[in-house]
Structure 1
């Protein structure tokens, strides 16, 4: 009997990648949802046997979706597929009823084992290819550089958060990364509307190059974050400018290092980097932008706003790619959307 499967992810690339990973001989009918609310509405109207669910999504995220499914009589079994691999994320989704958790990007062998482990494959005939895709547009959709880079950034973000969560025993709230081509004035506006907001801030900058790609990693902290940063790192000394600088460098190293390692792994690039530099301390966003206005005339920007649960810490990580890097990025990322 055919299984009805729903793949729920706001990223078209992630939906396509997961659909391509499903066993070709599996008798399954596949549909798609772009956020948790769409998934809940679809399940209520159609019934679904198995839901593959992302965590970081707009409208309803994965946690909210799992909570909503608890009150549904015809709720499907749920396998979470996410780049957020924090131990607390795994524990939370299991407590909310998910039967398994798979790390993005999903390996076909790992997915097959999960389906077998939960007896979801049924009787198979390996001589037949029974996979039926209900929405063929998923197979022919064209993706932009921004869309692909967003999904790669999402995975890198999750791995960086996992390192920080393990090290400090915290839970990191992860957003959907934003990817845009920005003029310098728009970059200032983006930071002003971020978690850092219009308050005074401090920032650390670090340059990266490799395989024809050049970008700057800019980590911006609201000044109101310093007391809780010290608390998080078990620092009890009086907070002065020198200690603030030390805290900035320590947290920047933990956040940026694992992110870049995961990004380089996905791009198959070994990035070399400069030493981190204190770009500004207790300044306005406009002052921060003015420091490098000449270099940042126009850039491809990836923005990630990190929050630490139960701490008043907000920071923005921005990757600012040079225009010359864009053709190289497109080439390196094209494998994610190649047709079989």
Structure 2
């Protein structure tokens, strides 16, 4: 029986490795890897993607664009989308664009197996025959593993926000970097110096992992956000609305991270910087812990609205070793 050309397309080395390991052991496939949509389309044109496992949020060309191009160019590919963006609207859109099924990250091998069987892509009679796959497993770094952990967490937070606000949340690629305290100070000072920005800060700690979450809003967009939050009382101020929104978004994102690394975070009370505290004070209190900071930046935007806001997660230097231990099983 000829091998089935299978294409795994995801910008994360860790996810490509996970999906390779999640494939049914008896499935006769020849595997090709792609790190973005442009590479995926080229592989499909070359006949290397009869079946495609496709991510949505990728650089250069995302999964939605790949699905649209497959349809527009009349390419033959049976696509299963595997994504951290679990918004109901995201699922609806990919199925409308021709995907056979949608699976959430991190991928459950049994769920993948069932979809392959249900879609007639896997022959049950072949499941006991082991097939070697001549493709090297990608090497996973700490930043790659942590970025994918964040990707899943921010997708869950976006799904909650989408339900609360009744909108579609456009997800970016999360940015994960290490910042020296001077670089962090400059970045936060720039934010403080921008009169158009309002920042909400909330501390968190759990399992020896600690940090501060900052949610940055543009002042001109607060009224639009209040309307989406269905504020119908004059007693419900802009600041109260921002605190409520921050609690939803920061809490959901931290919960998504905690679930994946098996910790429980305790969260402090959110504070509006500039009112209850300033960024300078935040830096002064934390500067001994923030000699080197693991910084995560997620820039959310709401489709159909001129609303953008940034979520910064600033993990203390001491937290990195514990995070590395928690993520070691993903990198191995």
Give 3-state SS (helix, strand or coil) of 2:273's partner: strand
1:252 aligns with 2:249: no
Out of 260, 264, 282, the position equivalent to 1:292 is: 282
1:225 aligns with 2:225: no
Partner of 2:318: 324
Equivalent residues in 2 for 1:39-188, closer than 5 Å: 39-122=40-123, 124-133=125-134, 135-136=135-136, 139=137, 141-187=138-184
Q: CA deviation at 1:124?
A: 3.5
* C-alpha distance in 2 between matches for 1:159 and 1:149: 16
Unaligned residue ranges in structure 1 (runs of 5+): 282-286
Distance 1:186 1:49, change over 3 A: same
Count of residue correspondences? 326
1:334 aligns with 2:328: yes
Partner of 1:7: 8
Partner of 1:301: 295
* C-alpha distance in 2 between matches for 1:293 and 1:257: 22
Q: CA deviation at 1:49?
A: 0.8
* C-alpha distance in 2 between matches for 1:257 and 1:216: 12
Displaced runs of 4+ in structure 1, greater than 4 A?
Answer: 188-194, 196-199, 236-239
Give 3-state SS (helix, strand or coil) of 2:82's partner: strand
Q: CA deviation at 1:245?
A: 0.8
* C-alpha distance in 2 between matches for 1:197 and 1:8: 41
C-alpha distance after superposition, 1:87-136 (max 9, x if no partner): 00000101111110000011111000000000001253344211424x31
Give 3-state SS (helix, strand or coil) of 1:57's partner: coil
> Cα RMSD (Å) of the superposition?
2.3
Distance 1:91 1:208, change over 3 A: same
Q: Is the 8 A contact 1:27 1:124 kept in 2?
A: no
Q: Is the 8 A contact 1:207 1:217 kept in 2?
A: yes
Partner of 1:38: 39
Q: Is the 8 A contact 2:37 2:62 kept in 1?
A: yes
- Compare 116-125 and 31-40 and name the one that shifted more: 116-125
C-alpha distance after superposition, 1:143-202 (max 9, x if no partner): 2221111000000000011111122211000001110001244336667999x9956211
* C-alpha distance in 2 between matches for 1:193 and 1:118: 52
Partner of 2:203: 207
C-alpha distance after superposition, 1:282-321 (max 9, x if no partner): xxxxx96433233244310011111111122211111101
